[in-house]
Amino acid sequence: MSSIMNRTVTTSNVVEIAPEVKPPTWRAKLSRNPEWFTVGLIAAMCLIVGAINPRFFQLATLFDLLHSATTMSLFALGTLVVLASGGIDVSFTAIGALTMYAITKAVFAWWPDAPFALILIVGALGGIVLGVINGVLVHRLKAPSLIVTIGTQYLYRGILLTFIGTTFFMNIPHSMDHFGRIPLFFYHTADGLRAVLPASVLALVIAAGVTWWLLNRTMMGRGVYAMGGSLAIAERLGYNLRAIHLFVFGYTGMLAGIAGILHVSNNRLANPFDLVGTELDVIAAVILGGARITGGTGTVAGTLLGVVLVTLINSVLILVGVPSTWQKVIIGAFILIAGTLFALQRKS
C-alpha cells in the first residue's frame, strides 16, 4: 500500500513540475528572422510612396531599382561575408574603383576588342589579389580589420589617382559597351519610354546563389560563422583561421572587382572618382538586413532586402519631393530603430 502511495506521489510530482510550453513572443520571432523588420519597412515605404505618386507601382520602377541596386548588392554580399566572420571591410569600393579603371584603361589601350567574359574574369582576379592582401595583413598583424582596410583603402585609392590616372573615359571598350546595352527584358511604357531590365542582373542572381551556398552548405561557411561567433572557440574546433581570413577578404575583393566592371559597362563611363564614398550605405544595408556588426549572423536574403530598402531611400524618395539631404537622416533613423529592436530581443 505504501509503495502504491509513493508511486502516486511521484507521478503527481512529475505532473506538477512539467514545464509550461509558451508560444514564441514577437521578440523571439524577430530574433529568428530579423529580416522581417526590413520587410515591414520596405512595405511601409512602398505604400507611402505609391499613395503619393501612383506611378511608383509600375514595372519600370522595379527595373530602375534593380539597375541601381546591382553594384551595391554585389558589394553588400561581400560585406555580409566579412561581417559574418566578425570583421569589417571598408576597402571594397577602392578595390572596385581600382580594378574597373585600371582594366578599362589597359584594355582600351592594348586590346580594344577583348571579349567581355575575359575582362570580367580579369576584374575578378584583380579583386581577389587586392582582397587577399587585406586577409594576409589582418591575419599576420592580428590587427582589427577595420584599421587594416582603412589603410588599404587609402593605399589602393592613392595608387589609382597617383599612378594610373584621373581622366574620365567617355569611350569604353566595345565589348563592355555592348554588354551594358543588352536587355534581359524590356517593354514600352504608356508614355512611350523603353523600360529595360539589364543583363547585369544575372550576375547579381548568380552571386547571391553562390554566396548562399558557400555560407550554408560548405565547411568554409560554417567556419565563417564560427569565427564570427568566437575566434577562440573556432580555433579550438579546428578551423583554419588563416584560410578563413584569406577566403573572406578574397571573396569580398572578387565581388568588388566584378561590381566595378559591371558598373563601367552599365554606365558606359569609367570614372576613377566613382564608387568610393558609398561604403556606409553598403554596410547600413547589410545591418538593416539583420547582420550584427559583432559577427556570427547574417543571411543573403536579409542582405538583399537591406539593399532594396537603402536603394528605395536613395532613389525613390526624390519622386515624392523628399530632399536628398534627408536620405542619410532616414537611413540613420532606420538603423537606430533596428539596432534597438535587435538589442531588446537579445535581452529577452
Report the percent of the chain where pLDDT is more than 90. Answer: 53
Task: Check pLDDT > 70 for residue 308.
Answer: yes
Task: Check pLDDT > 80 for residue 69.
Answer: yes
Residue 87, exposed/middle/buried by CB under 10 A (0-12, 13-18, 19+)?
buried
Domain residue limits, the chain: 36-343
Q: Which CATH architecture has domain 36-343?
A: Orthogonal Bundle (1.10)
Q: What type of residue sits at position 287? A: I
Q: Report residue 235 as a C-alpha cell.
A: 580555433
Cα–Cα distance, 338 to 286 (Å, whole number): 12
Task: Check pLDDT > 50 for residue 6.
Answer: no
Residue 198 near residue 262 (C-beta atoms within 8 A): no
Cα–Cα distance, 283 to 339 (Å, whole number): 13
Q: Nearest to residue 327, comparing CAs of 280, 290, 289, 287?
A: 280
List of residues 6+ apart from 224 with CB closer than 8 A: 81, 84, 85, 215, 244, 247, 248
DSSP state of 170: S
pLDDT of residue 8: 42
pLDDT of residue 174: 92
With cut-offs at 50, 70 and 90, classify the pLDDT of residue 86: very high
Cα–Cα distance, 201 to 56 (Å, whole number): 21
Cα–Cα distance, 284 to 60 (Å, whole number): 26
Which string of DSSP letters, residue by residue, matches 192-206? S-EEEEETTHHHHHH
pLDDT of residue 12: 44
Cα–Cα distance, 311 to 66 (Å, whole number): 9
Give the phi and the psi of residue 184 in degrees, each rounded to 5.
-75, -35
Q: How far is CA 98 from the centre of its chain?
A: 19
Which string of DSSP letters, residue by residue, matches 92-128? HHHHHHHHHHHHHHHHHHH-TT--HHHHHHHHHHHHH
